[in-house]
Every structure is written in structure tokens, then in C-alpha cells.
Amino acid sequence: MQKKSFSIPESIIDLIYLVAEKKLGKITKEKLIEELMDSSLDLVGSAKKIIFIDDQKPEHTKLLRELIDSNLLETMIVFTPKGFETLQLPGSRLCFLDYNKPQQSNKENFLLLNAYYIYHPINISLRELTKEQVEVLSHIVYLYRKENYKFLYLIDDFISSLKKMMAFNVVQQQQFIKIISQATDAIDYFYQQIKTRAEQSDKIKIFELNYKSLTEEIEFFINNLLEDVENTTAAFDNGFKQYKKYIKPLQLEWSAGAQDIWEKLDDEAFSQINTLQNDIKLVIQNSYDHLQSLYHKSKGIARECRKLMSFIEIDLLDGSVEWEIDEADAILEKLYEEKEEQRMQLDRIFYYYQQMAWLQNRFPQAEFKNLKGLCKIISKEEFLYKFQLENTLFEGID
């Protein structure tokens, strides 16, 4: 049987660079991939610091036990044991070695990080890690290493991205309303021409009912949902201003935007920044349902506009009334373009919020802790005991 070849995805290389950091030195990505794909497992005299372990290969199992016994293993990131090929990896366990670890007081412990369920599906057979998922995994490792300031720095980046998205979202909603108004103006102009007819047909009565329903939906959208979103944006802006007001003096003291700002924080400042960041998360959390409703309602309004315009052109249009078909089609096309832009913008807001909240909810103090099913500082004895008990490499984190 021909051996399957792998080309390690860019996202995994990015993850390795983030986790390994200074240990890699100035190695190029090409050289790094070459070393990772090296089939040789002989570490004698080697400076190899990252190794993929394939659970299905006995020689890999033996090597992993040797690494653990010699206290060289610092971090193990575990991907799906049988489905790691969907991520196009040469093994299901990504191991980071530390050759100085045998001299450290915690030499018999290492971080076990479960990445089973952290992925983005490409299709039914392939998965990938997004840039933000790579950041999430690497920052759990940073917390384990007590580099907690990097956690705050990442959340700061999420918040800054959300600030831009929230501001643009308001503009997006205003543009959507503008196109909706054009559509309803056209429909209303048609309605004014037919509503005074002495004898109204059943089709005209159906049109009136649907038109009334549409105007009520639009009124609710503008007066309720849009108001909720505007309030959310205002609350987010207020939280963002308070947050920036607090950290601005810190940025003036050091070079703005650099991680060394966060590294030098004292305990009081660290705690206050973490609290303010969590407050911003809560603003979106409390308004999440409103944002979801906004998208679903706008989708429904666009659909009803299209149905009503189609009803006019197919069932009601005759030579006695004016109706510009090309103009109506252009309005509908623009309406659906705006609806799609709105959907994409809200999806981006939801995605960034979810990545940020995922981390903050699990590590509310911006400090590492063992979490069932996700991450654990595990001892050599515990890991090897489970290996002997289950006759397999330890897959879960209890």
C-alpha cells in the first residue's frame, strides 16, 4: 500500500511558531516543515524540539514513553486520534520538547491540551484551524507557562476588532433600511393606484393583507430591533471608552501596542484590565439574542418584499397601472446584496465574540486552570498509569 503523504497546513505551522516561539530561533518555515516530516525518530544529538506522534505506530508509542520518562515533554496538543488525517497532519499528537526541563522543579509534569473539537470544517473529509483558533490554543499554552499578560493582549485585539465591526454594523443597518424604503415606496406607489378601485378582486385583497403585514414587520424592525442594536452599540462604545481610558496612561508609559506593555503590568492593573475586558464581553452577551433576531427579521423582510413584488408582476400588473419592472428588479437585487452584507457582518461579530467569550468564560481570571475535557497539567505517573490501564495512549482529559 502506498504511504499517504502530508503537507502540513499553514495554520498548524502558525500554531507551532506561536507555541515554540524563541525555541525555534530563525528557522525558516520550509526547514521547519522538513524537520517535522523527517521520519527519523532518533533524537540523539538532535536539536529537534517539535515532534508529531502517530498513535498507530508502535515506534512512535515507544518514543513518546521515552520522552515522558526522560522529562523532556513540555506540552502535548492532542488532535483526533483516528481522524487527524482530516487536518492533514502526520500524527495526532503534537509534542513540544524542552531540553532544559529535566533541571526544573516541575520536570515530571507537562501540559495536555485537547484540540479534538477545535476546528473549522472545510468539507465532509477535511478540517482546518482558523487564525483565531490557533490564537486560542497557543494562549492556553501561554497561561500554562504563566505568561498571562499575553492572554490580556489577545483579548484586547479581539475587542479592538469588535469595535470596528460594531461601528460598521450601524452603518450597514442604516443602508439596509434605505433600500427597504426604496422597495416599500415602489410597492406603495403601486398600491395607491389600485386601492380605490370600486370592486376589488380577491387578489388585491390578498395583496393588501400581505402589504400590511410587511409594513408592520418593517415598523417592528426599525422601532424595536434597530433600537436594541443601537443601544447595544452605545453600551459597547461606553465600555470601550472606559477600557481605553484606563489603559491609555499605560500605553503612554511604554511603546503603544507592544506586548511589553502587558508584561509589565502590576497585579492591580492586570486585575482591573481583566475586569473591564469581561465587562465588554457581557455587553455583547446580553444583546446576543437581539443581534440574532435582527438578522432573521431582515432576512424575512427581504423575502417578503420579493414575494410581494413578484405577486404584483405575475398576478396584478395590467396596462392600467404603472410599474417599472427593471427598476423593481434592481431594487430587489440591491436589497439582497445589503442583506447578505449584513449577514456577513453579523457573522463576523458573532465569530469574534464567540472566540473571545470562549476563552474568557473558561479562564475568567486570565490564569491557567485544569478544565475537564480541555486542558490539564498532568504528571508523568498519571499519564503512564492511564496508558497501562487503557492499553492505549491517553486520549481524554478528565
Rg (CA), the chain: 29
Q: Is residue 330 part of a domain?
A: yes
Q: Does 381 lie in the same domain as 310?
A: no
Backbone φ and ψ of 146, nearest 5°: 65, 30
The pLDDT value recorded for residue 252 is 40
CA 130, 136, 137, 142 torsion: positive or negative? positive
Burial of 333 (0-12, 13-18, 19+ CB in 10 A): exposed
- Minimal CA–CA distance to 294: which of 157, 172, 125, 137? 172
Q: Is residue 395 part of a domain?
A: no
Q: Does 176 lie in the same domain as 223?
A: yes
The pLDDT value recorded for residue 276 is 95
Task: Give how many domains the chain has, as a whole number.
Answer: 2
C-alpha cell, 148: 498571562
Q: Is residue 1 part of a domain?
A: no
The pLDDT value recorded for residue 329 is 92
Q: Is residue 46 part of a domain?
A: yes
Q: Is residue 354 part of a domain?
A: yes
Q: Does 137 lie in the same domain as 186?
A: no
Q: Does 310 lie in the same domain as 209?
A: yes
CA 286 to chain centre: 18
The pLDDT value recorded for residue 5 is 46
Q: Does 171 lie in the same domain as 123?
A: no
Residue 59 is part of which domain span? Answer: 10-146+372-390
Mapped onto helix, strand or coil, the DSSP state of residue 94 is strand
Write out pLDDT tens, residues 234-248.
Answer: 999 999 999 999 988
d(CA 127, CA 93): 16
d(CA 168, CA 76): 40
Q: Does 205 lie in the same domain as 89?
A: no
Beta-carbon contacts of 346 under 8 Å, excluding residues fewer than 6 positions away, are 169, 291, 294, 295
- Minimal CA–CA distance to 189: which of 379, 7, 331? 331
Q: Does 123 lie in the same domain as 173?
A: no
d(CA 238, CA 230): 12
Tens digit of pLDDT at every position of the chain (398 positions): 344 445 678 888 889 888 987 677 677 777 777 777 765 555 544 457 888 888 778 888 888 888 888 888 899 998 876 555 566 676 788 888 888 877 777 788 999 999 888 887 777 777 788 888 999 999 999 999 999 999 999 999 999 999 999 888 888 888 888 999 999 999 999 988 888 775 668 888 899 999 999 999 999 888 888 888 888 889 999 999 999 999 887 764 445 556 777 888 889 999 999 999 999 999 999 888 888 888 888 889 999 999 999 999 998 888 788 888 999 999 999 999 988 988 898 899 999 999 999 999 999 999 999 999 899 999 988 888 776 545 444 444 55
Q: Does 267 lie in the same domain as 211?
A: yes
* Angle 168-363-358 from CA coordinates, rounded to 5°: 40
CA dihedral 309, 313, 314, 316 (to 10 degrees): 100
C-alpha cell, 87: 487536518
Is the backbone of residue 373 left (phi > 0), alpha (psi -120 to 50) or beta? Answer: left
Compute how many other C-beta atoms are within 10 angstroms of the C-beta atom of residue 102. Answer: 11
Beta-carbon contacts of 213 under 8 Å, excluding residues fewer than 6 positions away, are 304
Q: Does 215 lie in the same domain as 127?
A: no
The pLDDT value recorded for residue 388 is 57
CA dihedral 13, 14, 18, 23 (to 10 degrees): 30
Beta-carbon contacts of 348 under 8 Å, excluding residues fewer than 6 positions away, are 165
Instruction: Name the percent of the chain lying above pLDDT 70.
Output: 85
C-alpha cell, 331: 431594487
Q: What is the pTM of this model?
A: 0.84
- Minimal CA–CA distance to 50: which of 97, 115, 104, 112? 97
Tally of residues, the chain: 398
* Angle 146-147-151 from CA coordinates, rounded to 5°: 115
d(CA 159, CA 251): 16
d(CA 14, CA 136): 12
Q: Is residue 5 part of a domain?
A: no
Q: Is residue 160 part of a domain?
A: yes
Mapped onto helix, strand or coil, the DSSP state of residue 395 is coil
Beta-carbon contacts of 99 under 8 Å, excluding residues fewer than 6 positions away, are 49, 72
Mapped onto helix, strand or coil, the DSSP state of residue 248 is helix
Is the backbone of residue 98 left (phi > 0), alpha (psi -120 to 50) or beta? Answer: beta
The pLDDT value recorded for residue 38 is 65
CA 218 to chain centre: 31
Q: Does 262 lie in the same domain as 185?
A: yes
Q: Does 352 lie in the same domain as 385?
A: no
Compute how many other C-beta atoms are within 10 angstroms of the C-beta atom of residue 125. Answer: 9
Residue 270 host element (H or E):
helix 267-311
Q: Is residue 128 part of a domain?
A: yes
Q: Does 110 lie in the same domain as 198?
A: no
